[in-house]
Amino acid sequence: MNTLPGVWLDDLTRQEALIRFGGDAVAVIPVVSAGTPAPHLPLKTAPLIARALGQKLLERLPAVVAPVVDADSFSRRDTLGQVLVDRLDMLKAIGARRIAILEMSPSPGVVPTLPAETLVLHVGDWLAADEYPTSCLMALDPRSVRMPLLPAGSRAQAFAGERAMAFEVDALADALRAKWPDLA
């Protein structure tokens, strides 16, 4: 049976998490903020892309990917900060020594200041450009794109979304390996 190097945190028992984090696994917390989505895209667009990137990342590395945190669901930045600190504390309590935040937003700065040992990787300058999220959603869940509302002249394509997500995962894997060279 083929097993993946990584796993979703919520698929593990506490004991399994302790074992994973006792090895070389890195905890990854995706944090998304899409701002105001395009009228042809559903509200689930950024979290869906984050889950897809998380899945592709755990297929390549010994990553334990936590559930996606939707920063747009918090009205105050300090509330988001407290939620992330609580999540970091929970991960540390089950043995995580290596923790990375994947900040997916149109611009950096959604994630508040966190402890220095937490690696924050910004993914998503593409969210400001409509083509990337539309292309990704065409690849992931094409029926969700409201095609009649798609802007005239859009060049969004499912293939472009697949390629862009593959590029993002390559960059994330490289950044994680640069921080922790012993990751498989």
pLDDT in tens, 65-99: 999 999 888 878 788 889 999 999 999 999 999 99
Question: Which among 28, 31, 42, 70 is positioned nearest to 133, based on CA atoms?
Answer: 42
Residue 41 domain flag? yes
Q: Is 116 helix (H, G, I), strand (E, B) or coil?
A: coil
Residue 117: domain span: 7-178
Residue 110 domain flag? yes
Residue 171 domain flag? yes
Predicted structure pTM score: 0.91
CATH of the domain at 123: 3.40.50.10310
Count of domains for the chain: 1
pLDDT over threshold 70, residue 150? yes
Residue 2 domain flag? no
Question: Which among 69, 64, 39, 44 is positioned nearest to 54, based on CA atoms?
Answer: 64
The phi-psi region of residue 102 (left if phi > 0; otherwise alpha if psi is between -120 and 50; otherwise beta) is beta
Residue 183 domain flag? no
Residue 108 domain flag? yes
Residue 49 domain flag? yes
Task: Give percent of the chain above pLDDT 90.
Answer: 64
Using pLDDT thresholds of 50, 70 and 90, give the confidence band for residue 141.
Answer: very high
pLDDT of residue 158: 95
Residue 1 domain flag? no
Q: Which helix (H) or strand (E) holds 14?
A: helix 14-22
pLDDT of residue 62: 94
* 13-19: Cβ within 8 A, 24+ apart: 14/94, 17/64, 17/94, 17/95, 18/94, 18/95
